[in-house]
Structures are given as C-alpha cells and as structure tokens.
Amino acid sequence: MSIANNLRELRQELGLSQKQLAEQLDISQSAIARWELSKTEPTASALVIIANFFNITVGQLVGTEEY
C-alpha cells in the first residue's frame, strides 16, 4: 500500500476528518489532502510526526513493514 492509502485508512479508522488530523499534527489541511491524493509526499520530518501520532513506525506508514 502507498503512503496515501495508509494515511487515509489510518485517519478514517480514528474517525478524523482531514482538517481534524491537520490540527492534531499542526500541519495544513491542504497538505494532508495532497498526500492522500498522491500529489505530493510528506517530508521525512512529517513522516515521523505522522507515524508517532498513529503510534506506528515510519516503515509501516510508507508500506515497507506490516502493521
């Protein structure tokens, strides 16, 4: 799975909107939308923030490890 799919799935599992997730991560909602649409990818530092929020590894987030 891709970062986009994993991020969307994780967000939806918690019942969060893109806006709510953006507020929790202190990242813009438009960045979340671009990531979920595979228009751009998160920076390395953003990947760490996202993975920590969901309590998973960066490898799990990017799809190189199962979770």
Q: Which domain holds residue 12?
A: 3-59
pTM recorded for the entire structure: 0.92
> Does some domain include residue 66?
no
How far is C-alpha 20 from the chain's CA centre? 12
> Does some domain include residue 67?
no
> Does some domain include residue 64?
no
Report the distance separating Cα 30 and Cα 23, nearest Å.
11
Among candidate residues 1, 63, 3, the one with its CA nearest the CA of residue 38:
3
Each residue's pLDDT tens digit, 4-58: 999 999 999 999 999 999 999 999 999 999 999 999 999 999 999 999 999 999 9
| 3-state SS class at 22 | helix
* CATH code assigned at 53: 1.10.260.40
Q: Which residues contact 53 (CB under 8 A, 6 or more apart)?
A: 24, 25
- pLDDT at residue 66, rounded to an integer: 85
